[in-house]
Structure 1
Amino acid sequence: MLLPSVSPVKEIHARLQSIFPEGSPNRNNCTWEIAARTIFVMLYIGAIEGTDIWIRPDQVTRMTDDQSEQLSEAERLAWTKESVKSSKGEIPGRWYAVNTRESIRDDTIRAGLIANGVVIEREGLATTSPAPRYALASEFTKLLDPALSGKKLTKAIADWQADHLNAGALARIAIVRRGAIAGGDHVLVKFPSGETRRMAPGPSSIISKAVIEVFAPSFLQTPGVVFLSESRNKVVSRDDELAKAIGLNIKAEKNLPDIVLADLGPKHPILIFIEVVATDGPVTKERRQALLQLAKEAGFPPEHVAFATAFLDRSDSAFKKVFDSLAWGTFVWLASEPDNLIYLHEGQTQLVRALAEWK
């Protein structure tokens, strides 16, 4: 038989980063080193859709660095045959301990590779069967061809993503990528009133734009932007007329929020303080109290005030870094998943149907 070409684990690992960019569903499960090693072993033994060759997770644990460099067809076939036999004694230099096979199966293969169309599962096997059951999807295998590079590789990856990742996943990738590379041009923000204003380029501005253009009309009945700031220019714009109408006196030198929205739809207007996090600065317990005091001074009782922290994506390092410091009783919104809203509920059970009805 003719076994496929196989690249070193390091090269497979690097290629996975391009195939599954930031924002991809279950990205970590598809891009960590153990995923690259799992895929390497599949290629090594020729476990590819249509060949009727399959692997067991424990075969990945049995691979060694020394064996991975033995690339003749005879050496690969001999190892494949040996790797499914009952183990007799320790395997020197094995990649993973025996009990790692469950993690490879559940976290890497099922949660990551199968979920994203990278791996297929053999049909007709009982759940408890020890027989090999996993193989690489043939279309995905083409992306790992060592001869594929440059523009041809870029196009092949884009074509595969279009065919195998759903519209929501592709949109999420595009949003996250745009936030990550935001550079030269100013970010044009369109307010609910139709007015447009410019912000300096950068991830924070991308998130702010999404909050005003997507979050506000989605979760507020009659949205208005009272205040907008950014890290480089503390006061980008303020609607003094609207602020005055609702009794809000924001001082740039005191507890300056990133964005202040007002929902004028309810009988009693709601004030929404939003912190934009590209690196740091969420609504913590202390921050919530400071902003609540600011609202109180403007005549807004706590039941008419809401707080939210906006992130680019939940796979982003900024989200993971600050999540455990977020205050209870606040919302979390992700620009890459704009239809969803996380509420850190504290107190009696309740159903949050809309931001205007959060209390």
Structure 2
Amino acid sequence: MDKRPETLAAQALHRIDPETGAVIAPIHPSTTFARGPDSALIGQHQYRRPQGPGSQHAEDIVSALEGAAASRLFASGLGAASAVFETVAPGAHVVAQSRMYHGTRQLLQRLAERGRIRLTLFDPEAPETLKEAVEPGVTELVWIETPANPVWSVLDIADCASVAHEAGALLAVDGTCAPPCTTRALDLGADLVMHSATKYLNGHSDVLAGVVSTREEDARWQRLSENASLNGATPGAFESWLLIRGLRTLFVRFERQSANAMAIARALEGHPAVSHVLYPGLESHAGHAIAARQMTGGFGGLLSIRLSGGAAAAKKLAATTQVFIQATSIGGVESLIEHRQPIEGPDSPTPDDLVRLSCGIEAEADLVGDLRAALARL
């Protein structure tokens, strides 16, 4: 029978260990795999750097959730992004948005400074500028992130795909903040979708991993897979196993995180100490209508607030919450808070009064009460 994505995730594709009957996937720490008397491999794998049983299982789960032809696991989200950028020709024209995860932006700028790519940035708050940024017949790759960390701009994936494809370019989507339980970018026209699996896909703040999924196993995908093996940016056996464990609870975690974020966004909208609440789930958000179409399983647990008291207030708020933990990352079961701009550095385009919140699965009343109490102390 056909199974819904929630079931596929919860049962890790219903793969029962054939030797023991275990319902939980075993860990395969071996780096090498034996051959029989005829020199043929006994199983599917030869050596774990290209791929091992655990990483393949995790890849298969992600592919099933994304509706992808194939997926490839990496040792981190930036490792996955780098693998995509490495597939473009030397000096190729790449278009990306000006506001996105700062690590990816820094990576792209570094590649441009070294002449590896030619980079044009467009404003995600004015998506019509994407058409101005692409060069028909020249642009090779368009890279977008939606919602965009940490200001949560929302781009219409289908529209961006249309613009990219009309120009002869590929569309790659960073879906880290909108995992496949809420958005399937490939269904909306993307060619590739990348996730920092460290975040929502794993969801327990104990794994570094990244993954890229493809709509077609074409020549570019073959280059990406070969580069992954040759560069050695592959996760270990235990990390792969932990990711499988995390994927099993993705849908229920995301539902609770989305509910908590919505409650906080509504509670803080109009608060005298807060000048802006940035959350795609709010009707007041500029990208709400697009998000409502694309994010069919919830708007996620990520939001930002800008404080009327400026940078000093933002710094104090992040340091004085008692339930929210002041730490860097997103998508875990514990709620985190961060005064974002100082973390990104002096070239950050993030407003200095912005505080980023990553909502976990704690009690809604505790999270809302914690923020209200901390805001009252400003």
Give the structure-2-normalised TM-score.
0.27
Which of the two has higher C-alpha Rg? 1
| Higher share in helix | 1
The structure with higher relative contact order (CA 8 Å, sep 6+) is: 2
